[in-house]
Chains A and B, each alone.
Chain A
Amino acid sequence: MYKIAVMGDKDSVLGFKALGLEVCPVDNPDQGREALHRMAKENYAIVYMTEQLAAQLPQEIARYKDALTPAIILIPGKEGSLGIGMANVKTAVERAVGADIL
């Protein structure tokens, strides 16, 4: 059994609670860092994180990028999308191919 968590500011993540996902409201980057490391050690397969929070934790996210779990997936927060998620897809292509070919 694996767990799914949603991290971000409270207003953005509260709705996911209704779906039965585990919600982890985070107010500042330090708290987020701590929570993320704790989740990585525990049985979390997927961590959804708002782009607003992810923008403040780039090193932590890079650290888990090549690990099998947890998969850190960026979702837009309530302020809207920052385009980081799409940029990450582009980065993956650049990393693999050496140039952005899409």
Chain B
Amino acid sequence: MPSATINPTRQELNRLKTRLRTSIRGHKLLKDKRDELMKQFMDVVRENRALRKRVEEGLMRAHGAFTVAAALMSPEMLEQSLLYPKQSVELDMTFQNIMSVDVPQYQFRTSSQDPGEVYPYGFAQTSGELDDAVDALSRVLSDMLRLAEIEKTSQLLAEEIEKTRRRVNALEYVKIPEMQANIKYITMKLDENERSNTIRLMKVKDMILKEAIEERQAQDARAVRAFGSDGESPAEV
């Protein structure tokens, strides 16, 4: 349905036609973008699920060992053992561009490469379960960082896909049909105007002709009255 406020002029028609061309092109591009984003997103989400499962399992194991350690040691001892970490993690963040979405990529470095270096305490006064817990945690750490990267990526991609999908649908089902209807309305209106103009001209022409004929007849009648009242034709006079 064309909107009520539309001007049926040639200028408006040209404007609408340009906009329609742009919209159709934009729609095609956005659709391609959506499809590609979706493809990337599916890969990311699959990895996300697998990774999350692995991290949760690893963390549950670590928590289990930690709970046992906490039961065997006094809370003060436990806290004291972990108070000053030997290891530190340095994190760098760069951005990768997936279809105009900036997603983070983390590079991390632990201060020491030796896996035995993660225990920040002496082994004499702590229970073995604490070692297990810290060991399990340090093994799950790289997966956790990867999970952070993947999960953030999937969230950002999901947002972008949602936006793009809305745009594609708005163009496809609202904007483009509306413009086409408007163009049709204007074309019809202009054609109608043209026809009515032609008809009007024809009418005017008819009227002028009729007037001319009537005038001519009146002239003839006057001539007949003046010269041939006795019935002879003017040619014989």
Contacts and interface: CB of A to CB of B under 8 A. Distances in A.
A30 to B, nearest CB: 23
Contacts of B119: 18
Contacts of B48: 89
B183 interface: no
Interface in A4-61: 4, 11-12, 14-21, 45-46, 48
A96 B161 contact: yes
The A contact surface, by secondary structure, is mixed
Contact of A12 (B53, B63, B111): B63
A98 B49 CA distance: 18
B66 A15 contact: yes
Counting contact residues on chain B (CB < 8 A from A), the size range is: 35 or more
A99 interface: no
A80 B48 CA distance: 19
A92 B155 contact: yes
Given A68-B104, A76-B56, A78-B66, A92 B158 contact: yes
A91 to B, nearest CB: 8
Nearest to B60: A76
A14 B63 contact: no
A4 B67 contact: no
Given A15-B66, A18-B118, A73-B144, A46 B49 contact: no
30 contacts: A4-B89, A11-B66, A14-B66, A15-B66, A16-B137, A18-B82, A19-B118, A19-B134, A19-B137, A46-B106, A48-B144, A68-B104, A71-B104, A73-B144, A75-B144, A76-B63, A78-B63, A80-B60, A81-B56, A81-B60, A86-B53, A89-B48, A89-B52, A89-B151, A93-B158, A95-B162, A96-B38, A96-B41, A96-B161, A97-B38
Interface of B: 38, 41, 45-46, 48-49, 52-53, 55-56, 59-60, 62-63, 66-67, 70, 78-79, 82-83, 85-93, 95, 102, 104, 106, 110-111, 118-120, 133-134, 137-138, 141, 144-145, 147-149, 151-152, 154-159, 161-162, 165
Interface of A: 1-4, 11-12, 14-21, 45-46, 48, 65-66, 68-69, 71, 73, 75-78, 80-81, 85-86, 88-89, 92-93, 95-98, 102
